[in-house]
Structure 1
């Protein structure tokens, strides 16, 4: 009776609601339940406790009452408890309490029947039926709809100079080139802006800029990240990302290659490099570390990075228990982990630059271009050669038979008695083969040769500068034939045959090794190699190769690799030289060998022959497996695993990129929108789950996701739509007629601070210092001394920061060496992540220390000095110099206020330095770049101060 009276009283005094439209469960109710209720009553509730994460649980009979009573909704216990004066839910001591509006929403929802629906992000996106086009006007329609509902419209279109700068910074990370800007401003055609956008999309700098965002997300780093934080060889993956964006590789292929390039039929070199994505997890080689523990930890990191990057979900909770907020079961986490648990690299990295599977690849973008050109030429040559491999008439044997016969005749060659000396003075004569006292012999049996000796095995064996190591071996050739000899050493290292005093090959470049063709007569020969030492010699390499061996072994030309086929075709002693050789074959073969000699290594993914078993781990503890081994599977809250897909990483990629997947396309377009407009449509890009934020424009998000798939996953198409939209082209000034400080309505154009890399790159570009070379190992610009040492283990090979010199100081910031435990301080100062974990949204802070860095850091002063030189050299008077400064930085002329401020500063600085020329010279001495001594130091120093000030102002540091 008391309970009945209490319900009546509560109902009488409960807040009422105004009858209106249907409550949207997914967008209005679920966020409340997730935020205020699921911590106790969600998917991971204690057994026997009320659950509110499903209709079945919420309507369950709980002993005479229901949280939601479909038969009598007004008597639902949920309404009673959220309005209870003495015993409310959430309890009075709960951290989060319901607001009055939230109570009204829940009550109204229950009284409308308490119907449940799937969270919006777990339903496949559908484009609005009246939006079938692919023009930027489609974007504007969605945005304008919300604006007109509030009796407002888009802001006026920004002026052309501002638009040019905005588009260039968003697409390439640099302002428009002056000539490009002039051409655009002079173009009166209706499609002038679209033409500019197309130029920017084709600029090679596009891929460099877009790659930054992806590298943040996948936590790319040049070091292992844990314990010693040693160097690791994976920068070719970074360069592949740049090429993929520049070549507009469809994003579904971009995803598939990274997850499973090694599992594709006949994987290409690029597809293998792309699997470096799987190898980017922080790793350790710490003594005492338990391999099984780090096998689990490495895969935890991969699964959780996978969740953030592709699903926009935090999966970390499910490592230890069923997710408290999203419908992700504990065992589903481990079923997903099973896809990654059978990759072939060891659990511990051995503190090695190369550990686990690697592949040799071109070392930079220039070498990639050469490699591709020569590969195409080789394919064309071999294709032509294959057409000549026809069976002859009469009694002659087929040409295949001739090739095989020659291959077998050369196959009985042998090498033996491999030896090398201890390091000797480079000018010393070669030690004699025999000495009376064997204990005094300088020759050692060549353990590790033929091949390469590097790392710890090479300790005390490698020659240093001014030294040489001699390697020798015997070569027995059954007939006159040619071989390819590969050897290491500094430029000038030489190869001798028998007693000849003239070298048959000499190292002519600074590549890692050199591969040279050598020709010997039939019989036994002594081959001797003088390997000179130096700072770049990190291995002792000597090996010999006869490409005909592959054919002699397989007896099938088609089974030989294309590289061996090319070497056979180009062999001057082989049958092809008589009847089928292309004149360019030897040139192509030699060029390809030279490129291969400079190859570097990169970490790649490979599967074990036998898959590891994966178990649920109790509370995520590696040594507490539970139950039976789990099959590989995906999250059931999304779409089903494709029926015809293999249960491996390739099948996982096919699941991700299927049209039915509700998350991937949304997650990708949301982050693309964020880099264009400064803020995402879902402003929690790392969390599309029920704890994440609602999209500001849900229909627009879905349309973009569908358009991405409809366009064959075309990134450049999507970016073009965004930057040519009316929404993007708005003036960005704050609007007094719109109460929207966060610009969620998109009632004005984008305005946000640029990232750390862009701030540095812009200064280098404006000053003329920016080195345009692309790719290669990370570079080390100026940095305060001792930073790495203070944070590093004494045994680390990254404890000492040795900065670069010359052009490397001025490479684009994408290529700055990324030590995970100590990123470059100017990057960190401007909110770059450490890349120990995924980052899909950088913070944007504003601190006094940033101002100090912008005005005083070595490279900032140096780039301002060179910018000042440019202004003075290219212009005859201060007015024109100021005009050029603003054109480079702001893509426009200074206004009256800006002109007055800069002229006043310039005059003050001229006066100051005219009174103390030594201060001017001291300022001009900062940085390695040479100072133009023909310029007046007082004028140059004064303009340096103006330049550094403008580079630190909002004119330079903002997109607007």
Structure 2
């Protein structure tokens, strides 16, 4: 019996063949002879197929569900079919009695699933996997990311002598399975550049290069790792990913986009990383520092984390609408940044793919709904609008004696937006279709049961939420953060979709390694520096980035890490490298954001015309040479150079930056005033040294590229210098060396300066210069 639009009941293989269906017994192998796994996994083999090809019509979205069938739910999948009680979508161990298998193998296009009109098609390997899975019992598994990680044993590998620590066993196991071999260790110069950029966001100094190259002791590498970890610039480098996640900016956003003073919170983040505040305390202070027993001023400052969201200052808005927006922002950040799930998809309706109901979304929402804030507090204006209530004021005495990590350069009033709850509990309702003015069922604070039910012993406030987050039974917290850190050091996470560990996210490339790292992180009390050191000490991290044709063919995306990661550094570090290598870098840590060189007219053309940020007033002096992370971020007009290099505009939580490669990036490196000024300043310094032209160019190359140039490279650059010196006209030279505000060296040969400046600018424009390799 055949039901054309629903399901099929077939009892014998003969009937199967007669009706044009394929039996899985006839298809023992995969596509093109590719071997199927011995044990088919629902999570890693079947669920991705269903998610891509089936769940749009047979998934959790009741509004789009066909035939009353859910294939992501075993109760539904094994139940009698709605329109044919004698048939079942799945029959454990019997593909030829399973309507699912019969519908994906039939030649009859009126019966085939997915329907041809959907433009979706299963490959032969996918069909074979489903058939084998059914034959093996069609066992469903809870989504891998919602199962608490357990520490697996180190895998057996053939080349144990390569491994430096536990990470390498898991990496090597996958490489050996794929017929790959790890690359040799990178040479010391390139390895030091990689390490210095990763741990400090800066190129190594010539002194550090010389010391490392001269140190032939067995622990030479570990010594330089420890030295870089102890450098205060470590906190600055590590803060960048957290500022993206926390959507830190120097303006409120929306049309007026007025100035705000949240930078003391940024100073605290740098301070917390430098003192190696463990991740559980680091996050708890930010989520609920105001609720801790006998909370301190520093703990209250940390809660600025959840006041970094956009805030309107426009007249005529509906206050409650915007207040709900602020709470929504905090709730969505918690989901994406700390849990690595797309919780926001349940704002208007039950999540279509993950097991989060709309009710559970608003139960989470309740934790953030009691903040003593309003949708609009005042119109744009003076210092009183730089922070919004609830707020804290920081006195000069507190900076001197308590909050000593804050870099406060003046005596002006300093206020920061922080968290603070109402004295009474504000009611929370499910909002119908997510509309602020359509309250439905009242809910109490709670968490998605699919992740971890909220323990009754925890208080129903943000402090209790933090305790739930760091409950070692929580399957996501440790996995998500170690994955973000892995992404920072290897270019992409073990889970590529680092903000989505749900059913629509990418599967981990090394699931056992991810679990081992997560459990190890928790076992060592969430110690961030220890985890970072373990990553950079691994043989995996130390590999050369040189790639052979064979490796490129077998693993073009370096999924199995058989070579070092190679990618362009973050926007902030591009500027830092230029400033540091030229000697221009202002190394002061923390303090207010600055306004460096920027094309004129950008702010003026995109503003309401009110407030401090309506006109771009460029800073001068030492402020021009601060690290990239201190560049003022106006949300509606983010720094153009930073944006071209893919920096976040900090509108929303961002846990993974995209990396693009555009001609605009080359134009920035060729024409940006900072790059040209740095070239001029470094050239002037070198011309004052009593060395040969070759020695000057070699030194510049080492400071910028962080290695000694080859003889061929040196010959090309020296020839270019000599050609420029011979051909350049004085008038053109004078125009070239006038770039930037840094004082021009007196009585210097301007033709020689312009010629060497061009050589150095060329070195800055080498791909290798701003690439971590």
TM-score by length of 2: 0.92
Q: Among 405, 408, 414, which residue is 1:600 paired with? A: 414
Aligned to 2:473: 660
Q: 2: distance between equivalents of 1:332 and 1:260? A: 21
SS in structure 1 at match of 2:80: coil
Deviation of the 1:934 alpha carbon: 2.5
SS in structure 2 at match of 1:880: helix
Aligned to 1:11: 21
Aligned to 1:338: 366
Aligned to 1:96: 120
Q: 1: distance between equivalents of 2:680 and 2:153? A: 57
Q: 1: distance between equivalents of 2:707 and 2:16? A: 72
Deviation of the 1:925 alpha carbon: 0.8
SS in structure 1 at match of 2:666: helix
Q: 1: distance between equivalents of 2:402 and 2:243? A: 25
Per-residue displacement from partner, 1:171-194 (whole Å, max 9, x unpaired)?
A: 100111211221111112110110
Q: 2: distance between equivalents of 1:926 and 1:808? A: 17
Deviation of the 1:361 alpha carbon: 2.7
Q: Among 31, 35, 41, which residue is 2:58 paired with? A: 41
Deviation of the 1:11 alpha carbon: 3.5
Aligned to 2:47: 30
Q: 1: distance between equivalents of 2:193 and 2:736? A: 31
Q: What are the equivalent positions in structure 2 for 1:277-356 lying under 5 Å apart?
A: 277-350=305-378, 351=380, 352-356=385-389
Q: 1: distance between equivalents of 2:413 and 2:228? A: 31
1:56 aligns with 2:75: yes
Q: 2: distance between equivalents of 1:265 and 1:741? A: 53
Per-residue displacement from partner, 1:824-871 (whole Å, max 9, x unpaired)?
A: 110001011211012211112111121111111111111111111222
Q: 1: distance between equivalents of 2:22 and 2:506? A: 35
Aligned to 2:425: 611
Contact kept? 1:889, 1:955, Cα under 8 Å:
no
Hey, which of these two has a bigger chunk of strand by percent? 1
Runs of 4+ in 1 over 6 A off after TM superposition: none
Deviation of the 1:138 alpha carbon: 0.3
Q: 2: distance between equivalents of 1:92 and 1:804? A: 61
| Cα separation, partners in 2 of 1:700 and 1:20, compared to 1, 3 Å | closer
Contact kept? 1:833, 1:842, Cα under 8 Å:
yes
Contact kept? 1:73, 1:113, Cα under 8 Å:
no
Contact kept? 1:681, 1:697, Cα under 8 Å:
yes
Per-residue displacement from partner, 1:443-478 (whole Å, max 9, x unpaired)?
A: xxxxxxxxxxxxxxxxxxxxxxxxxxxxxxxxxxxx
- Could you tell me which runs of 5 or more consecutive residues in structure 1 were left unpaired when the two chains were aligned: 376-508, 513-597
1:854 aligns with 2:654: no
Per-residue displacement from partner, 1:595-631 (whole Å, max 9, x unpaired)?
A: xxx661111000111121111111111111112x101
Aligned to 1:823: 638
Q: 2: distance between equivalents of 1:117 and 1:202? A: 44
Contact kept? 1:45, 1:51, Cα under 8 Å:
no
Deviation of the 1:885 alpha carbon: 1.0
| Cα separation, partners in 2 of 1:199 and 1:785, compared to 1, 3 Å | same
Q: What are the equivalent positions in structure 2 for 1:903-914 lying under 5 Å apart?
A: 903-913=718-728
Per-residue displacement from partner, 1:333-354 (whole Å, max 9, x unpaired)?
A: 1100010011112122434212
Q: What are the equivalent positions in structure 2 for 1:424-573 lying under 5 Å apart?
A: 511-512=410-411
| Cα separation, partners in 2 of 1:20 and 1:30, compared to 1, 3 Å | closer
Aligned to 1:639: 452
Deviation of the 1:707 alpha carbon: 1.3
Q: 2: distance between equivalents of 1:22 and 1:277? A: 45
SS in structure 1 at match of 2:368: coil
Q: 2: distance between equivalents of 1:896 and 1:753? A: 26
The alignment of Structure 1 onto Structure 2 pairs a total of residues equal to 736
Contact kept? 1:10, 1:80, Cα under 8 Å:
no
Contact kept? 2:271, 2:405, Cα under 8 Å:
no
Q: Among 491, 511, 530, which residue is 1:717 paired with? A: 530
Contact kept? 1:345, 1:605, Cα under 8 Å:
no
Deviation of the 1:917 alpha carbon: 0.4
SS in structure 1 at match of 2:674: helix
- Could you tell me which runs of 5 or more consecutive residues in structure 2 were left unpaired when the two chains were aligned: 3-7, 30-35
Structure with the greater relative contact order (CA < 8 A, sep ≥ 6): 1 or 2?
Answer: 1
Aligned to 1:124: 148
Deviation of the 1:797 alpha carbon: 3.3
Contact kept? 2:546, 2:563, Cα under 8 Å:
yes
Per-residue displacement from partner, 1:178-230 (whole Å, max 9, x unpaired)?
A: 11221111112110110000000010101101101111111111111112111
**Which piece of structure 1 moves more, 645-654 or 283-292?**
283-292
SS in structure 2 at match of 1:194: helix
Contact kept? 2:93, 2:138, Cα under 8 Å:
no
RMSD: 2.2
Aligned to 1:876: 691
1:69 aligns with 2:80: no
Contact kept? 2:92, 2:135, Cα under 8 Å:
no
Deviation of the 1:13 alpha carbon: 6.2
SS in structure 2 at match of 1:64: strand
Deviation of the 1:683 alpha carbon: 1.0
| Cα separation, partners in 2 of 1:61 and 1:71, compared to 1, 3 Å | farther
Aligned to 1:589: none
Structure number with larger C-alpha Rg:
1
Aligned to 1:242: 270
1:625 aligns with 2:433: no
SS in structure 1 at match of 2:322: helix
Per-residue displacement from partner, 1:717-772 (whole Å, max 9, x unpaired)?
A: 11111111111111111122321111011000121111111111111111111111
Q: Among 171, 177, 180, which residue is 1:143 paired with? A: 171
Q: 1: distance between equivalents of 2:689 and 2:429? A: 69
